[in-house]
Amino acid sequence: MSTVINDTIATVIDGKRVIVKKPELLAPAGTLEKLKIAIHYGADAVYIGGQEYGLRSNAGNFTLEEMKEGVEFARKYGAKVYVTTNIYAHNENIDGLEDYLRGLQEAGVTGIIVADPLIIETCRRVAPKVEVHLSTQQSLSNWRAVQYWKEEGLHRVVLARETTSEEMREMKEKVDIEIETFIHGAMCIAYSGRCVLSNHMTARDSNRGGCCQSCRWDYDLYSLDEGNEQALFAENDSPFAMSPKDLKLVESIPKLIELGIDSLKIEGRMKSIHYIATVVSVYRKVIDTYCADPENFQIKQEWLEELEKCANRPAAPAFFEGTPGMEEQLFGVHGKKASHDFAGLVLDYDKDTGMVTLQQRNFFRPGDEVEFFGPEIENFTQTVEAIWDEKGNELDAARHPLQIVRFKTEKPVYPNNMMRKGLE
Amino acid sequence: MKKPELLVTPHSVDSIEPLIATGADAFVLGEQRYGLRLAGEFNREDMKHAIGKAHAKGKKVYVAVNAIFHNDIANELDDYIAFVKEAGADAIIFGDPAVLMAVRAVAPDMPLHWNTETTATNYFTCNYWGQRGAVRAVLARELSMDEVIEVKENAEVAIEVQVHGMTCMFQSKRPLLGHYFEYQGKVMEIENRKEAKNMLLYDKERDNKYPIFEDQNGTHIMSPNDICIIDELAEMIEAGIDSFKIDGVLHSPEYLLEVTKLYRQAIDLCVENLEEYEEVKEELLEKIEELQPAHRPLDTGFFFKETVY
Ligand code: SF4
């Protein structure tokens, strides 16, 4: 990790090499609550969806009012807000686009993430203050195409998930443009933008947000030999599947930083605040620790374990070091349960009594072992003792979602810290 | 009324002359290193011969350079495109902007056809690529007839529409068939079946069979039905659609020949004698039905289907 690829990345202070070009940590934010949590837990930027033109039609998208509030909140932390506007539009989507983009500019968002040249060109014309970032939906995977988009005046490109680290290196060497790449989360097994399985199977347009994840279903594989169908699987074989493991590049963060990648992106606008908080805080630590002292950096076991606490599918590095093999696909399984449940969100803490006020997010009861985490504290675990409701009645358990409860914590906690519970 | 071009995808050099004899006006060909899901493999020599044969009869050849490129092959594009130009191709079909860059560098006068398959979905974007050098856009097969016609009405470039054959639903860079055999412990199977394009995925719930194959560009999954709109050409001809494509991928050369003959008849009649076309179009459709392999039903693709999102 000591080869300096680009001397604008690091400098030497008191004989010690430190990274000066820290990549942006970019997190998903499906809702205003998620936006606030992502930024609070250390994201430098978030991407959100608007009411239209984005690919997650069901990801709790933002109204213009909510966007404004989100942008203001982000600004206080020096964070940025990008809006995914990455559908491939049909003719009927052209009407209304100008107003929509003007609205985004007015809301003060930093940039939009776009695939369709229709939206790129319209944005340049009607909302010129908004940065234009090329979406991964364009499956951008070579440096000459990167050069093309640079010449077209784009501010940043998001690479195809099929791009290897060597390919990224060549792109960075040959073209001077901001590069964003995915580091964590679920992904398409197809080249993005090149899958219309859902159009065929369910009459829902995947390139306008209607994907039904048909690639995660099971199929039987046959061959057709002179008109006769022959099963290519035995009675108790797992069916043909093309479900990929999720992406996880936590151990490759140093390499990504040394390559000079500008933005590291976490997938998952549909994911819970617990997931976002966990993943963002781990990557925040990895990036900061590496940048402060790259020579002595070592990945900590506890960071890896932390990520497991919210992982609902096995994960792998995908294309980062070359085409992934069979072991990076899932056969006969459809994911796993995360090792921990999100049990509660801290609303308040009383120093004098040592009592936390907590919003319940999953069932827990006295005697349960729980873990608290958050940007202000070191993770700690404790056993829950007596629990009271808001009125001071003692409870046998915290049973109701969003119920407000109080109990004693062994160490101080802060608003927006989270409590999770291990699952046996 | 203008006659649209009848464009077909030949399997080999030997198919060119018979296809011309049955009525093809133009050909799409290439090699899988640069082009996607081609009916046949045309190396450089083949390409020269094919172009020679087509040009001798006044027909056109478009070379497919529409793969999604990574750096390695992107670095070869100048050389390949210079060759394609020298071979006398009438146009280059592209999706990846890297091809545009290479054409600007080594063959600036070469006409370009924009074809990304799934993402050519509105007229503005067709015109965008037009302003950057494309003379034609090949529309996504997921558009309805009304959308196709609205694109044509607003397009500054020629518009090509697939009217017959299989379409691609999915492309992954991963070798998914190889991985499945490996998972089953049948590594030999990969070698045995590498060249075979006779595998199907069976979707129980929909009772559909999707052809699936692997090549240098990854794994491709194809539609369960063949589009056939031989009986629905009038509206598009009237609207002035410039080119009708019949895709012969995963079909036999004989099948392609017969289908081309029937579409030739349909287009000619539709332009020259609409009344007669209306009378015989059912018959033409029935003739195609008779040609269909058992596992390949016909349908009208997305032309008359509503898609939501
Ligand atoms: S079906 Fe799978 S590969 Fe296709 S768009 Fe949806 S998630 Fe991606």
Mean pLDDT by 10 residues, chain A (424 residues): 61 92 97 97 96 74 95 98 96 96 97 98 98 97 98 97 97 97 96 94 92 91 86 87 95 98 96 97 98 96 95 92 92 80 97 97 97 97 96 96 97 98 86
A194, A214, A330: residue to mutate for ligand 1 pocket, most atoms within 8 A of CB: A214
Judging contacts by C-beta atoms under 8 Å, the chain A residues touching residue B170 are 190, 194-197, 215
Q: How many angstroms separate the CA atoms of A298 and A305, rounded?
A: 15
Q: Is B208 exposed, middle or buried (0-12, 13-18, 19+ CB in 10 A)?
A: middle
A136, A187, A205, A206: residue to mutate for ligand 1 pocket, most atoms within 8 A of CB: A206
Q: How many angstroms separate the CA atoms of B43 and B31, rounded?
A: 6
Report CA Rg, chain A.
Answer: 23
Q: Is the dihedral of CA B55, B59, B65, B67 positive or negative?
A: negative
Judging contacts by C-beta atoms under 8 Å, the chain B residues touching residue A93 are 122
Determine which of B66, B307, B308 to mutate to test the interface with A (most A C-beta atoms within 10 Å). B307
At residue A148, the pLDDT reads 98
Any atom of ligand 1 within 6 Å of the Cβ of A188: yes
Nearest-Cα distance to chain B for A63, in Å, is: 19
Ligand 1 midpoint to CA B245 (Å): 27
Nearest-Cα distance to chain A for B264, in Å, is: 28
Q: How many angstroms separate the CA atoms of B28 and B113, rounded?
A: 11
Model pTM above 0.90: yes
Ligand 1 midpoint to CA A193 (Å): 9
Is the Cβ–Cβ distance between A243 and A189 less than 8 Å? yes
Return the H-helix or E-strand segment holding A158.
strand A156-158
Determine which of B76, B116, B124 to mutate to test the interface with A (most A C-beta atoms within 10 Å). B124
At residue A58, the pLDDT reads 61
Any atom of ligand 1 within 6 Å of the Cβ of A213: yes
Closest by CA position to A318, among listed A141, A158, A162: A162
Ligand 1 midpoint to CA A244 (Å): 11
Could you give the percent of chain B with pLDDT greater than 70?
A: 100
Judging contacts by C-beta atoms under 8 Å, the chain B residues touching residue A201 are 203, 206, 208
Any atom of ligand 1 within 6 Å of the Cβ of A197: yes
**Are the Cβ atoms of B96 and A145 closer than 8 angstroms?**
yes
**Are the Cβ atoms of A194 and B68 closer than 8 angstroms?**
yes
Judging contacts by C-beta atoms under 8 Å, the chain A residues touching residue B178 are 326
Residue reference for tokens 């999915």: B170
Ligand 1 midpoint to CA B88 (Å): 39
Non-local CB neighbours of A156 within 8 Å, separated by 6+ positions: A111, A131, A133, A134, A177, A178, A179, A180, A262, A263
Phi, psi at A57, each rounded to 5°: -65, -20
A165 HSE (CA, 13 A, CB side): 16
Interval B182-225: pLDDT, tens? 998 888 777 777 777 899 999 999 999 999 999 999 999 999 99
Q: How many angstroms separate the CA atoms of A216 and A226, rounded?
A: 30
Closest by CA position to B216, among listed B50, B10, B67, B45: B67
* Distances B255 to B19, B54, B166, B289, B293 between C-alpha atoms, Å: 11, 20, 13, 11, 9
Helical packing angle, B145-154 and B123-131, nearest 10°:
40
Q: Is A367 exposed, middle or buried (0-12, 13-18, 19+ CB in 10 A)?
A: exposed
| CA angle (A313 as vertex; A255, A244 as ends), nearest 5 | 70
Judging contacts by C-beta atoms under 8 Å, the chain B residues touching residue A198 are none
**DSSP conformation letters of A27-62:** EE-SSHHHHHHHHHTT-SEEEEE-SSSSS-TTS-PP
* Distances A76 to A63, A71, A73 between C-alpha atoms, Å: 20, 9, 6
Return the H-helix or E-strand segment holding B191.
helix B187-193
* Distances B238 to B25, B234, B268 between C-alpha atoms, Å: 19, 6, 13
**What token pair was written down for A243?**
């479900």
Reduced to 3 states (helix: H, G, I; strand: E, B; else coil), residue A346 is strand
Q: Hey, whose CA ends up nearest to atom 4 of ligand 1?
A: A195
Nearest-Cα distance to chain A for B180, in Å, is: 6
Any atom of ligand 1 within 6 Å of the Cβ of A198: yes
Interval A175-218: pLDDT, tens? 999 999 999 999 999 999 999 999 999 999 999 988 989 999 99
Q: Is B242 exposed, middle or buried (0-12, 13-18, 19+ CB in 10 A)?
A: buried
Q: What residues does CATH 3.20.20.70 cover in chain B?
A: 5-166+227-299
Any atom of ligand 1 within 6 Å of the Cβ of A355: no
Q: Which domains does chain A have, with CATH numbers?
A: 10-192+244-330 (3.20.20.70), 340-422 (2.40.30.10)
Q: How many angstroms separate the CA atoms of A404 and A359, rounded?
A: 5
Residue reference for tokens 């859902």: A198
**What token pair was written down for B245?**
């494509």
Nearest-Cα distance to chain A for B223, in Å, is: 8
Is the Cβ–Cβ distance between B107 and B133 less than 8 Å? no
Judging contacts by C-beta atoms under 8 Å, the chain A residues touching residue B203 are 201, 217, 219
Ligand 1 midpoint to CA A210 (Å): 10
| CA angle (B246 as vertex; B240, B250 as ends), nearest 5 | 160
Is the Cβ–Cβ distance between A247 and A318 less than 8 Å? yes
* Distances A102 to A124, A189, A199 between C-alpha atoms, Å: 10, 34, 31
Return the H-helix or E-strand segment holding A289.
helix A273-292
At residue B166, the pLDDT reads 97
Q: Hey, whose CA ends up nearest to atom 8 of ligand 1?
A: A188
Is the Cβ–Cβ distance between A144 and B77 less than 8 Å? yes
Closest by CA position to B123, among listed B158, B163, B94, B164: B158
Nearest-Cα distance to chain A for B263, in Å, is: 25
At residue B8, the pLDDT reads 98
At residue A227, the pLDDT reads 75
Over residues B149-156, mean pLDDT: 98
Chain A residue with minimum CA distance to B293: A227
Ligand 1 midpoint to CA B169 (Å): 10
Return the H-helix or E-strand segment holding B285.
helix B274-291
Closest by CA position to A261, among listed A252, A269, A270: A252
ipTM here: 0.96
Q: Is the pLDDT of residue B4 over 90?
A: yes
Q: How many angstroms separate the CA atoms of B43 and B49, rounded?
A: 10
Encoded amino acid at A161, one letter: R
Determine which of B170, B182, B187, B194 to mutate to test the interface with A (most A C-beta atoms within 10 Å). B170
Q: How many angstroms separate the CA atoms of B264 and B164, rounded?
A: 12
**Are the Cβ atoms of B142 and A149 closer than 8 angstroms?**
no
At residue A57, the pLDDT reads 62
At residue B192, the pLDDT reads 78
Over residues B246-268, mean pLDDT: 97
Q: Is the pLDDT of residue B97 over 70?
A: yes
At residue B111, the pLDDT reads 98
* Distances A104 to A65, A85, A129, B196, B275 between C-alpha atoms, Å: 10, 10, 10, 51, 53
Q: How many angstroms separate the CA atoms of A84 and A108, rounded?
A: 14
Q: Hey, whose CA ends up nearest to atom 1 of ligand 1?
A: A213
* Distances A297 to A243, A252, A281, A304, A334 between C-alpha atoms, Å: 34, 12, 17, 15, 35
Residue reference for tokens 């009772």: B207
CB-closest option in B125, B176, B179 to A116: B125
* Count of C-beta atoms within a 10 Å radius of residue A236: 5
Task: Find the distance separating the first CA and the last CA of chain B, reported in whole Å.
Answer: 36
Q: How many angstroms separate the CA atoms of B225 and A209, rounded?
A: 24
Q: Rounded mean pLDDT of chain A?
A: 94
Residue reference for tokens 């017969």: B258
**Are the Cβ atoms of B183 and A142 closer than 8 angstroms?**
no
CATH of B5-166+227-299, one of 1.20.1540.10, 3.20.20.70, 3.40.950.10, 3.30.1330.10: 3.20.20.70
DSSP annotation of A324 reads: -
Phi, psi at A71, each rounded to 5°: -65, -40
